[in-house]
Chain A
Amino acid sequence: MAKLAKQIGLCVVIAGLLYGLDAFLNVRRPDGQPAFNPFMLRVLLLSGIFVTLSVSLNIVNGFTGQFSIGHAGFLAVGAYVGAAITFKFPGLQNGMGLVLSCIVGGAASALFGWIVGVPSLRLRGDYLAIVTLGFGEIIRVLLENTSMLPMTEFLGGAIGFSGIPKLTSFFWVFGLAAVTIGISRNLKRSLHGLAFLSVREDEVAADAMGVNTTQVKVTAFVLAAFLAGAAGSLYAHNEQFILPKSFNFVMSINIVVMVVLGGLGSITGAVLTAVFFTALPEWLRTANVGIIKDFYKDEYRLVLFALLLTLTMMLRPQGFMGRAELTLLKRKKRPPTPAPEPRATMHAPPVGTHEILNCEGVTRRFGGLVAVDNFNLQLRTGELVGLIGPNGAGKTTVFNLLTGVYEPSSGAVRLAGKQIAGDQPYSPSARAGLIGLDAALCGLVGYIGATVIYSLPLNVAPAAMMSVFSMSIKSPMVLAITGLAAAVSLVTSKGRRRNRPGLRPFQFCNLGISRTFQNIRLFPDLSVIENVLVGSYGKRKTKLFDALMQTVRMDREEHEQRAHAMKLLERFDLGSVADEQAGGLPYGAQRRLEIARALATRPKLLLLDEPAAGMNPQEKSELMECIRGIRDEFGLTILLIEHDMKVVMGICERIYVLDYGVIIAQGSPEAIRRDPKVIAAYLGEEAASG
């Protein structure tokens, strides 16, 4: 409770501060003139709005590592929706109305963010950038056409929306900015924020550690859109006149420039650059410095932006602040109080009782190449099994099949009796429904397209299109095109809709299968302990809300997870480097950290992909001890790929030998060592004789 009181206290103090500043800025001189230049005040408010925009975009571009360049679109949605509310309901033209319009504008914008995010966030990097830019443009085009419908005519279409009441003040603008900064700061420090950062660092590894990367990305997008929408409402009520054209690419780029130059991931950087780059052009425009005044053109500002962007990328790609933050109060190091015992250590069921993993006839083809062919494998709880074979035999492909990175072309994988990968056909009725839905959708698209062609010679107004649609259904051409589209869909959909989509890697992880990677895939810019904490994200009990508000529940959970992570680190001799950057660790330590991270997901089955690669003999023998130790301690079943015969023969109870994607032998290390097929394929023909 003390924590909550402290938080409320802080909010009150900040609100009071803002309120006082607001009053101070609106002081009038005795002659009734404002004491502060109204123009300067306007610039001040505008920079406050841009602080919100750049800090919110930083959640997407900085924390999550996606690259959106269409932020102005969300600003526009918020601005139009927010302004429409106060415009239509004069009773709301007050402070409360402004708050309401910010929330509704934000929500509308968040909805758009969701619509944009769900399809496009599957894409990476530059594709995503183009799609966000495209959506920004679509929003602009839609707003320009609002005058087409009588219902939305008051929004003014391309001519602009005027007559919006002036409701903003320093208090509201900077209040929202403070809220945005607070939320963003809480997020960055929390367990949930770490999931965001892990997506930025390495999406594949994040997925494998149980982070639903799509959900995280969409969340980031929606959150940023909400805040941008709220800022949009403030923008509209500050400018009083908005034009679809002004929310264009250039404005989006302005915000991107702020985030990039401030430092992707740094809230402080985003704030500083937002203020600087909003105030700078206004100053340049009005400055009385002779040479600037005579020559100044607005294009120069953009030329300067362009050059600054390029220069930053060449000299300091991480931006002005990098990922660092400036904080007024030094964060107290958490006292090393012994945390409540997180949970009882698992009791390993006796070896060999239950079957935990069963692969039956698993085959994976890549084009014409069969990487894994009719692969069968059974693991019982508590076993330590090796998977060996020459390079290129398909071992890592097996791991990828067991963790959902690839889907089997045929066959089935069962975890504790439950099928988790492989053919999972739809029930006939569900399949028929989906195929029907596909056909109906394609038919509809075909019908709309055909009607547009049909309407070409009619020159109808958009409003009359409805009647054309009802007319065109009688045309044989339209019917033929519609039918054709539906028929094509029917034919192609049959194959596509055979199986239910497979589980994603994060779902495999949450079911209890965790892994390490052949080429270490840590989150290099996160600290060692943060790497492990990402592993425990899948087992969280708190909601995103807890993280944003930094609730007591969140605190408690983080405390527990940290304690657990610390214990794991100490188990792997990494306790002393817990706060160092993972990317800077020596090779052997990185390998150990990867195992610790995998264990943080609380797996039942652990897959180790060449854990000894790149280690010296001393490290290798330590590793062998360690693997055996964790198996007993955590009650694990372990499957490992390894090249080093000493390691494999030394610790594995059973060994499978894979060659050409086919299991050629299995058995105890002794049997494998003597198996002539293995010697021929793996150790070299003559090793047997020589």
Chain B
Amino acid sequence: MEDQTLQLFVQQLVNGIQLGSVYALIAIGYTMVYGVLKFINFAHGDVYMIGAYMGMFVVLGFHPANIDQDALVVVLAMVLMVGLIVSLRGNLRNPRAVGLRLAGFGLAFVLLKTLCSAFVLVGEKLFGGLTSVAQTSVLVGGAVSVMVSVGWCAALGVIIERTAYKPIRGTGRLTALITAIGVSLLLENGGQAVFGARTQAYSIASLPGGQELVGATLNLNVLGLAISVNRGQVIVLVSAIVLVTLLMYIVRRTRMGKAMRAVAYDREAAALMGINTNTVISFTFLIGSAMAGAGGFLNYGLTQFSFDTNTGIMFGLKAFVAAVLGGIGNLGGAVLGGVIMGVAETFIAGSPFSSFKDAIAFVILIAILLFRPAGLLGKYTVEKV
């Protein structure tokens, strides 16, 4: 009895750490952005969701039939409308500027449908090429998928920061939060309109040699206890460790990393050192979003989990809780918090109370805020009066 409990305990612990490693990857993005801007990037979870889709397009291919082109046109038209209004702001007295912008956006509207078709066509060709490359072997496929997810999400993160967050910087935390909620809703529902509401699943096991790489089960003997681990899980865990190590290196050793730490500590003083704070902030979004993109691919491409466009909400929130648990603004804390979150959730999921597993994150959140608001590794600061 006790033996069996212990074995299951260790088994669940391993599963939990694997899930936790993905939470950690996302939590890093929350914590970095919070460190630099003191702002919760609500849309971060949705960037992770996009990462999952990008991996899927590489592995399964990008079929125009799966994309609702009309929806793409409608969504982009609405976004363009908003872009037009925003870009006209402050220029209304300048007829030349108004004319130019109207002409530019008008052209975009007229060509929107064609552009969307072209976009989908290019996407098809591009992803078609990537898919055929990926089809050569699972290692190549995995590498390509990671690169596409990471690259696309990094770009998306920077685009979001530049277009939505930068214009409202310095106007108050509530404004920033509401904007972030807006961006998050846009990604979820725009995504759902274009990609469809159905649940998706894919695995690089479908690539040549994939079954052997990720499908196989490893039977380990840990201290006399028989533990079985999926190879895919091990790869997720190892990749996460590699990525986090890489990130730590960037933050601690590179020039940009130092600038990031300086900006996080005191943005004005950093500017006085000649640091271009705007670039640093964009870079923070770039790195954080890249990690989330990698997490999105790893957690779905190498496991049997399924996802849809709303996956990012819950997953993002849990990762955020992980960041708070570890101490927001603290990279090591994000990793620790992620692992604790993953383990806690896995244990609940394995217990009779499995249907409460989505609630555990918030129970943890409330507990931590009550007893140690600065998080496990964070330092508590008093507001200056």
Contacts and interface: CB of A to CB of B under 8 A. Distances in A.
Q: Do chains A and B touch in the complex (CB under 8 A)?
A: yes
A118 to B, nearest CB: 10
B298 to A, nearest CB: 25
Contact of B385 (A300, A303, A396): A396
B186 A406 contact: no
B350 interface: yes
Interface string B168-183: 1001111101110111
Interface string B357-376: 01101110110011001000
B192 interface: yes
B5 interface: yes
Contacts of A295: 70, 74
A119 B370 contact: yes
A690 interface: no
Nearest to A452: B351
A290 B40 CA distance: 41
Contacts of B173: 125-126
A686 interface: no
A312 to B, nearest CB: 8
B177 to A, nearest CB: 5
A475 interface: yes
B114 to A, nearest CB: 18
Interface string A244-270: 000001000100100010001000000
Contact of B356 (A69, A120, A141): A141
Interface stretch (B54-62, B79-87, B99-107, B219-227): B79-87
Contacts of B369: 119-120, 122-123, 127, 131
A99 interface: no
B174 A306 contact: no
Contacts of B184: 306
Given A295-B70, A396-B385, A311 B82 contact: yes
Nearest to A116: B366
B37 to A, nearest CB: 11
A368 interface: no
Interface residues of B, number: 69
Contact of A138 (B75, B181, B362, B382): B362
Contacts of A122: 369, 373
Contacts of A396: 385
A249 B313 contact: yes
A307 interface: yes
Contact of B189 (A306, A455, A465): A306
A299 B78 CA distance: 12
Contact of B4 (A144, A264, A457): A457
Interface stretch (A313-321, A324-332, A617-625): A313-321
B193 interface: yes
Interface in A111-130: 119-120, 122-123, 125-127, 129-130
A675 B46 CA distance: 66
Interface string A285-320: 000000000010101101111111111111101000
B190 A299 contact: yes
Interface string A336-378: 0000000000000000000000000000001000000000000
A172 interface: no
Contacts, number: 186
A631 B167 CA distance: 49
B74 A130 contact: no
B5 A457 contact: yes
Contacts of A253: 181, 185
Q: Which of B8, B182, B373, B385 has the most CB of A within 10 A?
A: B385
B94 interface: no
A232 B373 CA distance: 33
B178 A307 contact: no
A236 B213 CA distance: 52
A453 interface: yes
Contacts of A461: 352
Given A126-B177, A131-B366, A462-B353, A306 B182 contact: yes
Interface in A430-473: 452-457, 459-462, 464-465
A306 B168 contact: no
B106 to A, nearest CB: 19
A285 to B, nearest CB: 15
A186 interface: no
B71 to A, nearest CB: 6
Contacts of A317: 168, 171-172, 175
Contact of A69 (B181, B183, B353): B181
Contacts of A299: 71, 189-190, 192-193
A310 B179 contact: yes
A69 to B, nearest CB: 7
B31 interface: no
Nearest to A521: B385
A134 interface: yes
A309 B179 contact: yes
A409 interface: no
Given A138-B363, A456-B9, A305 B40 contact: no
A453 B6 CA distance: 9
Contact of B362 (A65, A135, A400): A135
A637 B192 CA distance: 66
Grouping DSSP codes into helix (H, G, I), strand (E, B) and loop, the A interface class, with mixed when no group exceeds half, is helix
B112 interface: no
B2 A315 contact: no
A304 B82 CA distance: 10
Nearest to B313: A249
A554 to B, nearest CB: 30
A357 B71 CA distance: 71
A170 interface: no
B152 interface: no
Interface in B330-385: 347-348, 350-353, 355-356, 358-359, 361-363, 365-366, 369-370, 373, 382-383, 385
Given A134-B362, A306-B185, A313 B355 contact: no
Contacts of B382: 366, 406
Given A120-B369, A309-B185, A204 B383 contact: yes
Interface in A2-60: none
Interface in B44-81: 70-71, 74-75, 78-79, 81
A14 B202 CA distance: 60
A508 interface: no
A72 B385 CA distance: 36
Contact of A126 (B39, B74, B85, B356): B39
Contacts of B85: 311, 315
Contacts of B321: 130, 134
B23 interface: no
B317 interface: yes
Contacts of A131: 362, 365-366, 369
A240 interface: no
A220 interface: no
B362 A137 contact: yes
A313 B362 contact: no
A306 B188 CA distance: 10
Contacts of A142: 359
A410 interface: no
B315 interface: no
Given A299-B193, A306-B182, A306-B184, 14 more contacts: A130-B365, A131-B369, A134-B365, A137-B317, A297-B71, A304-B78, A307-B78, A307-B81, A309-B178, A310-B179, A311-B86, A406-B382, A455-B351, A457-B8
**Which 6 A-B pairs have CB atoms at the shortest separation, nearest pair first?**
A134-B362, A309-B182, A306-B185, A310-B182, A306-B186, A302-B189
Interface of A: 65, 67, 69, 119-120, 122-123, 125-127, 129-131, 133-135, 137-138, 141-142, 144-145, 148, 204, 249, 253, 256, 260, 264, 295, 297, 299-300, 302-315, 317, 366, 396, 400, 405-406, 452-457, 459-462, 464-465, 475-477, 517
16 contacts: A123-B373, A127-B324, A127-B369, A131-B362, A141-B359, A145-B356, A148-B355, A302-B189, A303-B193, A306-B186, A306-B189, A307-B78, A314-B86, A314-B168, A317-B168, A455-B352
